[in-house]
Amino acid sequence: MSDTSRRPRRTGKPYRRPQKDPVRILAFDALRAVDERDAYANLVLPPLLRKAREKGDFDGRDAALATELVYGTLRRQGTYDAIIAACVDRPLREVDPPVLDVLSLGVHQLLGTRIPTHAAVSASVELARVVLGDGRAKFVNAVLRKVAQDDLDGWIQRVAPPYEEDAEDHLAVVHSHPRWVVSALWDSLGGGRAGIEALLAADNERPEVTLVARPGRATTEELLGEEAAVAGRWSPYAVRLAEGGEPGAIEAVRDGRAGVQDEGSQLVALALANAPLDGSDERWLDGCAGPGGKAALLGALAAERGAVLLASEKQPHRAGLVAKALAGNPGPYQVIAADGTRPPWRGGIFDRVLMDVPCTGLGALRRRPEARWRRRPEDLEGFAPLQRALLRSALESVRVGGVVGYATCSPHLAETRAVVDDVMKERGSEVELIDARPLLPGVTELGEGPDVQLWPHVHGTDAMYLALIRRVG
Ligand SMILES: C[S@@+](CC[C@H](N)C(=O)[O-])C[C@H]1O[C@@H](n2cnc3c(N)ncnc32)[C@H](O)[C@@H]1O
């Protein structure tokens, strides 16, 4: 007689193996890496995609879908968390993070893509079965079925507080930004509801890829010959790639004559290079140069003038990236690893100095979908003394009559005007602000000056800030 006691008892439907969907599993793995290891999505994703391609699991469309699922889920996390919280019977912090990731991926498919409802739910349940087990897959199924009962607008109506009651909380949920970030961006932008809504919405858009044709090394005409390339908006060296354009496939990019660089960053370098000077224009300094995007453009511009560029960066491995970016520069340059607050160079010798200081990066949220959730208001206190010390050092380094460009890729007033105001006050009549606006010819809506703040929703660039300061004494 055979022993039947160990056979699984049939309690309902026959057991079916979960279906492994490589796209969703990869998206889940990327989200786990971002959550568990504080990884950056833009660094985690490419090697995962490469491996999947090598294994033959993926084609180009799969890679595009996986990328969209990861970026979309991370960007929209604030909105999706509020919706999930309304569909579970416990506080979100009591839901295991991997379960929350599967749920968020499911909500994004349901509310943020055109994937049909039944496909979004069943793909998420299958993913849950593979990565979480059958028990938790039932929970995922139950929550997503509730979410599927309404569309995104309907859910926002239900879960966001009314604008009239709490404008910042409303915008935080609708546009998926932490409340403190909404508040900081609004302080800097000023104006009413329309402007801040447009800015927050722009932060959730995928940015275009912009190239720079490094002068003397490549031309925009050459880059415009590439597939999907169109002229830049503002910088004479910029070329934009429409969706699908692959910078790595372009020869000029591969051999460093051109690079990938947001137009905001190009404008910062150009404005500093074009600021009026009396006397010599021979020595340029980039005091926070890593990874080297602005240094490469400054180096090429300096070469055209016969000036030499010193590019300095504190972290040795990032100084290595600067050296790579500058390799092949048509004029003289030097790259060093040095702390810009205790510089090894003599004071008062440079004609032009760029200090593109470390900052919260709140102006580049389009590019780093997880950054808004990782940053804390306390980070500002960490950056404040360093930003002031670096600006002081820049003003020590520049000669009398020379110009310093203080730049950030954050529009937070604590990192922009507050730093410039404080340090300028210390220096009294030895320094004066130059109007940076005429140095960005053709760029519209630059505010009252003399400093400039670029905006994604207005200029299509990162929210770069630039103050130009001349040392007069
Ligand atoms: C905003 S990034 C500069 C970006 C760069 N200008 C570009 O366009 O590629 C700031 C850089 O400053 C460096 N840094 C931080 N503290 C520094 C210090 N005390 N001295 C010099 N560089 C520093 C960081 O490592 C980082 O590479």
Question: Mean pLDDT across the chain, nearest whole number?
Answer: 95
| CATH number, domain containing residue 242 | 3.30.70
pTM listed for this prediction: 0.94
Q: Is there a domain that residue 11 lies in?
A: no
Q: Is residue 294 a known part of a binding site?
A: yes
97 and 195, same domain (yes or no): no
Distance CA 83, CA 159 (A): 7
* Per-residue pLDDT, 14: 83
Per-residue pLDDT for 13 more than 80?
no
Of all protein residues, the one whose alpha carbon is nearest to atom 16 of ligand 1 is 314
Determine the distance separating the centroid of ligand 1 and the alpha carbon of 337, expressed in angstroms: 11
Whole-number pLDDT of residue 11: 59
Domain-located, residue 9: no
Is pLDDT larger for residue 248 or for residue 317? Answer: 317
Residue 5 pLDDT class (50, 70, 90 cuts): very low
pLDDT band at 4 (very low <50, low <70, confident <90, very high): very low
As a residue count, the chain comes to: 473
Q: What is the CATH number of the domain that holds 131?
A: 1.10.940.10
142 and 94, same structural domain? yes
> In testing the pocket of ligand 1, which one of 212, 314, 317, 412 has its CB within 8 Å of the most ligand atoms?
314
CB-based burial label for 339 (10 Å; 0-12, 13-18, 19+)? middle
- The mean pLDDT value for 54-80 works out to 93
pLDDT tens digits along 267-325: 999 999 999 998 999 999 999 999 999 999 999 999 999 999 999 999 999 999 999 99
The CA 212 to ligand 1 mean position distance, Å, reads 20
What is the Cα–Cα distance from 262 to 246, expressed in whole angstroms?
A: 15
DSSP β-ladder status, 308-313 and 229-231: unpaired
| 171-200 as b/e: b if 16+ CB within 10 A | bbbbbbbbeebbbbbbebbeeeeebbeebb
Residue 443, pLDDT above cutoff 70: yes
Band (pLDDT 50/70/90 cuts) for residue 242 is confident
C-alpha neighbours within 13 Å on the C-beta side of residue 357:
33
Please give the backbone phi and psi of residue 168, each rounded to the nearest 5 degrees, phi first: -70, -40
Judge if 361 and 407 occupy the same domain: yes
Q: Is the pLDDT of residue 431 over 60?
A: yes
12, part of any domain: no
Task: Note the pLDDT of residue 243.
Answer: 77
Q: Same domain for 304 and 446?
A: yes
CATH number of the CATH domain containing 379: 3.40.50.150
pLDDT over 60 at 459, yes or no:
yes
Establish if 34 belongs to a structural domain.
Answer: yes
In a domain, 41, yes or no: yes
Hey, CA dihedral for 330, 335, 341, 345, is it positive or negative?
A: negative
| Residue 142 and residue 98 share a domain | yes
Task: Report the number of distinct structural domains present in the chain.
Answer: 4
Tell whether the model's pLDDT for residue 239 goes beyond 90: yes
Nearest CA among 386, 301, 399 for reference residue 345: 399
Q: Is residue 409 annotated as part of the catalytic site, yes or no?
A: yes
**In terms of domains, do 79 and 124 share one?**
yes
The string of pLDDT tens digits covering residues 377-413 is: 999 999 999 999 999 999 999 999 999 999 999 999 9
Rounded Cα gap, residues 127 and 307, in angstroms: 58
Query: Where a domain ends, among 111, 131, 152?
Result: 152
What's the CA dihedral at 160, 163, 167, 170 to 10 degrees? 10
Q: Please state the rounded mean pLDDT for residues 250-262.
A: 96
Q: Are residues 94 and 173 located together in one domain of the fold? A: no
Domain assignment of residue 181, yes or no:
yes
Task: Please indicate, yes or no, whether residues 213 and 318 belong to a single structural domain of this protein.
Answer: no
| Residue partners of 61: CB distance under 8 A and separation at least 6 | none
Assess if residue 237 is contained within a domain. Answer: yes
Q: Which of 49, 182, 409, 467 is catalytic?
A: 409
* Ligand 1 centroid from CA 358, angstroms: 5
- Which residue ranges have their beta carbon within 6 Å of ligand 1? 265, 288-294, 313-315, 318, 339-341, 356, 358
Shared domain for 119 and 50, answered yes or no, is yes
One domain, residues 221 and 343: no
How close is the Cα of 241 to the center of ligand 1, in Å? 27
36 & 136 share domain: yes
Q: Which of 282, 288, 291, 290 is nearest to 332 (CA)?
A: 282
Within a domain: residue 10? no
322-368: pLDDT as tens digits: 999 999 999 999 999 999 999 999 999 999 999 999 999 999 999 99
Range of the domain at 169: 165-203
297 or 226, greater pLDDT: 297
Residues 118 and 223 in one domain: no
Strand partners of residue 258:
213
Mean pLDDT calculated for residue range 94-115: 97
